[in-house]
Amino acid sequence: MKRHYIPITASVPGVSGSQQAFIRRVVRTALAAQGVDFPCEVDVLLTSDAEIQELNRESRQVDKPTDVLSFPAFGLEPGELPGIDDADPGTGLVPLGDIMISMEHVAAQAKEYGHSNKRELGYLVTHSVLHLLGFDHMDEGPQKAQMRAREEAILSELGITR
């Protein structure tokens, strides 16, 4: 089977090959955990607070930096998946969307929560993949609880604990 295509672009210095491999592993694990068994494309941009603030302002009219932005290609509901018929005819891949992560926020939040940068990065990637697959947390009730439960299950599968 054709594998997922997960291009990673870093607009900030200091992103290592091992970090990129880890991000790809997190994306693949999250997709598998959600039953995505067809080849997909997920584009990842690792960026700065300044750049993510600009994207946040343009896309959400929120003029402040954030940790992660997700741009889903489909308007899915949790548990709903696009089909292989949604694949790009040229590549055979289903384009799930784009993930943008502020590496400055990764470091700051890891410090704030008292865990490693790796755990924070893993959490943000997992969180964003779930957004691409229709999960949301705009309410403080069932949607958020459902998303948190999936995040913890996926992180646990990756061996990433609090």
Domain span at residue 128 reads 8-157
162 falls within a domain: no
14 falls within a domain: yes
Find the largest Cα–Cα distance for the chain.
45
Q: Please tell me whether the overall predicted TM-score, pTM, comes out greater than 0.85 for this model.
A: yes
pLDDT reported for residue 62? 94
For 46-98, the pLDDT digits (tens) are: 999 999 999 999 999 999 999 999 999 999 998 899 988 999 999 999 999 99
pLDDT reported for residue 2? 64
Over range 9-20, report the average pLDDT.
95
- What is the band of 1 on the pLDDT scale with cuts at 50, 70, 90? low
Tokens of 150: 């999936």
Buried b (16+ CB within 10 A) or exposed e, 103-139: bbbbebbbeeeebeebbbbbbbbbbbbbbbbbbebee
147 falls within a domain: yes
Check which CATH number belongs to the domain holding 57 and give it: 3.40.390.30
Q: Say what the alpha-carbon torsion angle 105, 160, 156, 161 is, to the nearest 10 degrees.
A: -90
Yes or no: say if 56 and 65 are a contact pair by the CB < 8 Å rule. Answer: yes
- In sign, the C-alpha dihedral spanning 52, 57, 61, 65 is positive
Total domains in the fold of the chain: 1
pLDDT reported for residue 84? 83
Which position has the token pair 């790796």?
118
